[in-house]
Amino acid sequence: MVEGVDGISDALEGLALALGESGAVPAGELVRALERAADRLRRRGEPMVAPSDLVTQAEASRTIGVSRQAVNQWVRKGTLRTYATGDRLGHGGSRVSLSEVAVVANRRSPVRFSLTRRGELLDFLDLVADPSAKALARDLREVFEGGQGECGYTQESRVLGEFVIAAMETGDRQREFTADGVRLLADLRPKFEVDPATSFGQLARSLDVLVTSSSGVTGFDSPVTVILGLLAVATVGARYSGADTDLGRDVARSAEEVWGEDWPARLYDAAYHGGELKPPPLVRYTASLTYLDNNRFLRQAQSAGVTISYARGPGAVLPQRFYGAPLHDDVLRGRSPGPEVWAFTEEAAAAIGRPSRNPSAVSPFRVFNYEYGLMDTSIHGIRRYCFSAADARAEFRATLGLLTSTQRRAYIEMAIGTLAKTVGLPHVELVAVDGQEDFDWWKDHIIRSSEREVLIGLRDDEARKVSHALLVQTDMLSTVVEAADSDSSLRDRLRIYVKNLEFDVIEARYQDDLRRGTARLLKAGGVSLTPDESRALAEAEIDSYLT
């Protein structure tokens, strides 16, 4: 029998190699097909199980941030399903899924851009006085007043198609874009143009919030990124010295005149609701925009209750990637962050320089990614944050090697405190991928993923000169397949590979990594830890990087 099994195994292996070497089946497609077959065989004998995030109704109400009466009503009306756990008889033995509670909770939230909120945004745009920013504000106003017609997006599916075609390769040939793809990406003309010679253009460029086409036109690809650009100049932009930064303080004053001290949150409201009006299928994101946009992304994505993100350099563990270089410099010098989470000192601004001069990994906008995104308790749903422990450990040790003994102690304490703060939040699910080889090529591209959109990080040097990341609406993926209608073989290959960008596939791989032990669950979503428990967990993880 053993010989028979070996014979069958050898025959199957030989068949797979013959198919790949003969070119009968593209090698990349064959690899993915075998991966899916292996996954199905692994899971074939597993019984059907209830969701993994089951809790009591009381725990769900506390975690998601809604009243217990609301959860009870949703159950009674049949809006929310319950699951019998078998541990207790009757009502006490039933549980609800946290992600399903989050879905229902988000459906209660207003989705439309109310007339009041829209009027406030228009008032703010009217108050922006600088001529260079006023032209942009006027273009944005036309969008929200409904005066601008639908923009054409004829090239976007071709750009994403070139990404997928390049990704079909395997091994050393694996890359992000064909040469045609890089050219198509660079040729896209920004929908909102900005003159780089003006004060706003100079400040926005130095903050790394503008994309540039191959024709030399700079600007923004969508209304959302325009709003994020205005937020950028009014916050981090206003912290620097120079003639152009007066504009940032002017924008901040205009926002505060309309909304008061809560103006950053209200601008984030406008970005979210503006994104719901006419979401473009594909948008180029700079590094700064990537970090600024996490709030809008989560608010949109949590209508499905769960999001997944992957990071090689996690801010939850590495302080410089949480705070960004200027704030990190301040904290190491003994200055604690103030109520304005982005506010660093003039000394740090002068020493570190503007974002365009620094690596994206330590952008001063990174703090927005966490304080206004991952850790925002007003956004319902579970956030699955996965990181490469091998990369985090290597960067942690390398950073310590550059610090004085006093700074090292401060850095380690900062790392423990940040990680404890992260795991102390019930809605955060933190997962470490320990093996370097287990943080695969596709994971490295998925900065954030949900059922509605995915943010794809670019690593290729040529592509990254154009864009740090691509935000893709998932309903656009079908058009990528349609773009190959003239080539049936290519269409079949595309159909397989666009699946890699779909949330259900990313979710299945995430769950499979946990089952197989290639990913380590540090803290499950929906679990509440005491401050002492959070601190102990954080200390244990950071200590493992030191030994």
Q: What is the pLDDT along the chain (547 residues), one digit of tens a residue?
A: 445 556 777 777 778 777 777 766 666 667 656 765 665 565 555 544 567 678 888 888 877 777 888 888 888 877 788 887 765 544 456 888 877 887 777 666 555 677 788 889 999 999 988 888 888 888 888 888 874 444 555 678 888 888 888 877 665 656 788 888 899 999 999 999 999 999 999 999 999 999 999 999 999 999 999 999 999 999 999 999 998 999 999 999 999 999 999 999 999 989 998 888 878 889 999 999 999 999 999 988 776 778 999 999 999 999 999 999 999 999 998 887 778 999 999 999 999 999 998 899 999 999 999 999 999 988 878 899 999 999 999 999 999 999 999 999 999 999 999 999 999 998 899 999 999 999 988 898 999 998 889 999 998 888 888 999 999 998 888 888 877 777 777 777 787 778 788 888 899 899 999 999 999 999 998 888 999 999 999 999 999 999 8
Distance CA 489, CA 505 (A): 22
Fold of 54-108: Multidrug-efflux Transporter Regulator; Chain: A; Domain 2 (1.10.1660)
- DSSP code of residue 314: -
Q: Which residues contact 420 (CB under 8 A, 6 or more apart)?
A: 531, 534, 535, 537, 538
Written as six digits, the tokens of 125 are 């745009």
Written as six digits, the tokens of 65 are 């941030």
Residue 83 pLDDT? 85
3-state secondary structure of 417: helix
Residue 2 pLDDT? 44
Distance CA 472, CA 493 (A): 20
pTM: 0.81
> Which H/E stretch holds residue 301?
helix 294-301
**In the chain, what are the domain boundaries?**
2-43, 54-108, 112-149+188-280, 287-546
> What are the distances in angstroms from CA 278 to CA 222, 455, 534?
9, 18, 41
Distance CA 423, CA 439 (A): 21
